[in-house]
Amino acid sequence: MTTETQIIQRLRRIATHPAARNLQDDAALLDGFVITHDSIAEGVHFFPQDPPTSVGWKLVAVNLSDLAAKGARPVAALLSLTLSGDDEWDLAFIEGVKAASESYGIALIGGDTITLPAGAPRVLGLTAIGRAGANTPARSGGQPGDRLWVAGTLGDSAAGLALLTDDAEAVGVLVDVYRRPVPLLEMGQALAPQASAMMDVSDGLLLDLQRLCAASGCGAEVELDSLPLSRAFIAERGNDRAARLFAATGGDDYALLAAFPPEIDPAVTLSLPKKPTLACIGKLVAGSSVMLTHGGEAIPLPERLGYEHRTEPPPMGDRG
């Protein structure tokens, strides 16, 4: 065990309150409130050259995605802002926070503002508070036999990031998805009442699924052909095995991954929003491994399941 894993284990041993859910979940559940905190750091979660409005939007969106994954309704947020010395950047960042907050109805109610030593990378954090619905699905509630469903499409953001890496001036739908992820709040609220487990896909489907499996004490089978891809993604990256593995491991999707008992077809049973679409991608099974098929044929798992290096090992709250 690395010492870094020891640090997470140490935190878990301290966090014995039931609201903590053993720090295995995207969010805490306290007296009807779902509460999450995610920070993003320059050079790790965003690039210095990213538009500051996008960074502000993204900070809010990744936290709202955690609320979405618990079926919560956004209520209030506290912003942890480090003044960077570049006032134009800071003001534009705040505009991004404001735009996302207003779009999704979360009220800024507090936080703090600190200065950092000169030249230090920006570290920006948000605490998001939502009102829990009748059921707040944990990562740990999955059972062998449950069907796995994904709301939203996979790989768009990673494809957008790849475009930007090649050409910092790149534009288009995929770049927009990377810069301005959309938290699937309505879908999360619609799925939560009957989901046995749910989380958002922030670090890559396969990596996040592995975490859901670990928390639920089971394994999973996923059919690569069933992963939901957007037209824009297919136009850019294609639709073959390599493209689908890219989508399965890309990260920054802010899609939702939910497990439902096999007798429930959420697309039929639940009153869902029209968008995004919902796709059944496989099922939970006994064991502890994630197994992959493509065209019905078993294929090995890729070496890299997602953006593990960013927050290695499985952290409190992960990336999103």
12 versus 294: smaller Cβ distance to a second copy: 12
80 versus 194: smaller Cβ distance to a second copy: 80
158 in Cβ contact with 38 (< 8 Å): no
Q: How far is the CB of 164 from a second copy (least distance, A)?
A: 19
40 versus 220: smaller Cβ distance to a second copy: 40
Q: Name the residue among 247, 108, 134 with its Cα closest to residue 192.
A: 134
Q: How far is the CB of 243 from a second copy (least distance, A)?
A: 29
Measure the N-to-C terminal CA separation of the chain; round to a whole number of Å: 24
254 in Cβ contact with 320 (< 8 Å): yes
Q: How far is the CB of 79 from a second copy (least distance, A)?
A: 7
Q: Name the residue among 257, 140, 154 with its Cα closest to residue 208.
A: 257
Binding residues for a second copy, per CB under 8 A? 3-4, 6-8, 10-11, 14-17, 19-20, 23, 25, 27-28, 30, 33, 35-45, 75-76, 78-83, 87, 90-91, 94, 97-98, 101, 107-117, 120-121, 123, 125, 127, 129, 310-312, 315-318
Q: How far is the CB of 254 from a second copy (least distance, A)?
A: 16
HSE toward the beta carbon, residue 172, CA cutoff 13 A = 18
60 versus 150: smaller Cβ distance to a second copy: 60
231 in Cβ contact with 122 (< 8 Å): no
Residues near 16 by Cβ (< 8 Å), separated by ≥ 6? Answer: none
Q: How far is the CB of 115 from a second copy (least distance, A)?
A: 6
244 in Cβ contact with 206 (< 8 Å): no
17 versus 275: smaller Cβ distance to a second copy: 17
